[in-house]
C-alpha cells in the first residue's frame, strides 16, 4: 500500500549530482557542431528539459541540469538505447545520499543541431518504472561547459541558448555576480540575516533558494515555518523521500541577497542536501552562466 502511495504522490526534483571515488568517466566527448545553438525547453516539475536522442534512439526528455557535474541515466534507458558500459564503478553523491553506478559511453547524443560523440556518462539503477520518467535522463553541466563559452536558460521564452563566445546581455538592467566551480558545479554567494553561504546554481532542482537545517537554525528558525505536506515526494540521486519525513519546510526571512539584488520577505526552502538555487527562483528570467569569465548574469 505504501508503494502505491509513493508512486501516485506529486514528485519534485531535488538535483545536485557529483561522482566520487574511482571509476570517473573520461571527459573525451567530441562535438561535431559549430556556431551557436538554440533549443526549445520543456518544463517538468518546473525544471528545464530538452529533447535528445541517445545512440540514434527515439528522442527522450533530458533534464538540462547545472546541478549535475556529469551526465546520468537510469539503467532502463541505458538498456533501451544501448549505452556501452566501460566496466568502471563509482558512487554518485546526490541530495538524498549516495547511490552506486557504473561508467558508460554514449556513441552519439543529438539535441537539435547539437551532435556529440563519445559522451561519458554514469548509469544508475532505475529510479522510476516508466521509461524516461522525471530525472531519469540527466544532461550534466560538464558537456555544456566543455563545448560552449556560455549557456543561457531563457525561462521566459522557453529556450536554451548555447553560445561559443563571451556573453553579452540583451537588457540594460541585467545584474551579474561571479561564480566559482566547486566539485564541477557553479556556486555563488547568498546572504540573509547577517549570514553568507555558498549555493549551487541548480537548474535541475524544482525549488527556489534552498538551505539546510543548520543554516535555518542560525537564522533563528530552527523550528516552525510551513510544512510541504505528507503527499509530496522529493526525488533525486540517492533515492526519494517524503517531504514530511525529511523535515522539509518553508520559512520566510526579512531579506535575502543574491545575484546582485535583494529580495524582501523572501521564502527559503529548508531541505536535505547541499544549499542550492533551483528553477523556481530562475523562472521569469534569462539566466546565463558565462564560463569564459566565470560570471552569472540575470536578466529580468
* Average pLDDT of the chain, as a whole number: 87
39 neighbors 157 (Cβ within 8 angstroms): no
128 neighbors 267 (Cβ within 8 angstroms): no
The predicted structure's pLDDT at residue 23: 44
Distance CA 127, CA 145 (A): 27
pLDDT band at 15 (very low <50, low <70, confident <90, very high): low
Q: What percent of the chain has pLDDT over 70?
A: 85
Q: Indicate if the alpha-carbon torsion angle 279, 9, 247, 101 is positive or negative.
A: negative
Q: Name the more confident of 80 and 18.
A: 80
Residue 63, pLDDT > 80, answer yes
72 neighbors 138 (Cβ within 8 angstroms): yes
The predicted structure's pLDDT at residue 93: 74
The predicted structure's pLDDT at residue 195: 98
Q: Can you give the CATH number for the domain in which 160 is found?
A: 2.40.70.10
Q: Domain span at residue 221?
A: 1-300
> What pLDDT digit, counting tens, does each position of 69-79 carry?
999 999 999 99
DSSP letter, residue 218: H
Q: Indicate if the alpha-carbon torsion angle 18, 22, 24, 25 is positive or negative.
A: negative
> What pLDDT digit, counting tens, does each position of 148-164 carry?
999 999 999 999 999 99
Place of cell 521564452: 157
Angstrom CA distances, 211 to 32, 78, 90, 226, stand at 40, 33, 27, 14
2-19 burial code (b ≥16 CB/10 A, e <16) = eeeeeeebebbbbbbbbb
Residue 289, pLDDT > 90, answer yes
pLDDT band at 222 (very low <50, low <70, confident <90, very high): very high
The predicted structure's pLDDT at residue 1: 25
Rounded to an integer, the average pLDDT of 22-33 is: 56
Q: Say which range, 76-85, 126-135, 221-230, 287-296, has the weakest mean pLDDT.
A: 126-135
Residue 291, pLDDT > 70, answer yes
Domains identified in the chain, total number: 1
Task: Identify the bridge partners of residue 92 per DSSP, sorted by sequence position.
Answer: 19, 99
Residue 64, pLDDT > 50, answer yes
The predicted structure's pLDDT at residue 106: 96
Distance CA 283, CA 285 (A): 6
The predicted structure's pLDDT at residue 104: 95
Residue 6, pLDDT > 50, answer no
Q: Name the more confident of 95 and 176.
A: 176
- What stretches of 85-236 show up as alpha helix (H) in DSSP? 141-147, 213-218
Rounded to an integer, the average pLDDT of 56-80 is: 95
The pTM (predicted TM-score) of the whole model is 0.89
Q: Name the more confident of 101 and 257.
A: 257
Amino acid at each position: 500500500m505504501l508503494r502505491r502511495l509513493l508512486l501516485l504522490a506529486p514528485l519534485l526534483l531535488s538535483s545536485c549530482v557529483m561522482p566520487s571515488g574511482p571509476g570517473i568517466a573520461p571527459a573525451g566527448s567530441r562535438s561535431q557542431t559549430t556556431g551557436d545553438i538554440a533549443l526549445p525547453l520543456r518544463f517538468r516539475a518546473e525544471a528545464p528539459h530538452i529533447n535528445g536522442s541517445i545512440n540514434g534512439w527515439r528522442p527522450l526528455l533530458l533534464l538540462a541540469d547545472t546541478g549535475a557535474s556529469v551526465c546520468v541515466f537510469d539503467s532502463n534507458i541505458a538498456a533501451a538505447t544501448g549505452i556501452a558500459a566501460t566496466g568502471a564503478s563509482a558512487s554518485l553523491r546526490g541530495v538524498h545520499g549516495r547511490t552506486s553506478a557504473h561508467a558508460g559511453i554514449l556513441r552519439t547524443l543529438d539535441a537539435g543541431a547539437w551532435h556529440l560523440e563519445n559522451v561519458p556518462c554514469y548509469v544508475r539503477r532505475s529510479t522510476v518504472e516508466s521509461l524516461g520518467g522525471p530525472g531519469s535522463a540527466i544532461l550534466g553541466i560538464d558537456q555544456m561547459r566543455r563545448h560552449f563559452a556560455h549557456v543561457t536558460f531563457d525561462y521566459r521564452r522557453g529556450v536554451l541558448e548555447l553560445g561559443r563566445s563571451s556573453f553579452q546581455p540583451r537588457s540594460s538592467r541585467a545584474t551579474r555576480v561571479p561564480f566559482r566551480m566547486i566539485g564541477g558545479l557553479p556556486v555563488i554567494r547568498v546572504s540573509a540575516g547577517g549570514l553568507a553561504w555558498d549555493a549551487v546554481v541548480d537548474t535541475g532542482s524544482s525549488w527556489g533558494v534552498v538551505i539546510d537545517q543548520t543554516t535555518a537554525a542560525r537564522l533563528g528558525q530552527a523550528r516552525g515555518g510551513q510544512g510541504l505536506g505528507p503527499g509530496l515526494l522529493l526525488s533525486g540521486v540517492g533515492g526519494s523521500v517524503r517531504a514530511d519525513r525529511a523535515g522539509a519546510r518553508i520559512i520566510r526571512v526579512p531579506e535575502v541577497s543574491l545575484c546582485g539584488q535583494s529580495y524582501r520577505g523572501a521564502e527559503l526552502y529548508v531541505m536535505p542536501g547541499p544549499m542550492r538555487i533551483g528553477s523556481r527562483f530562475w523562472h521569469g528570467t534569462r539566466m546565463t552562466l558565462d564560463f569564459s569569465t566565470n560570471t552569472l548574469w540575470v536578466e529580468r
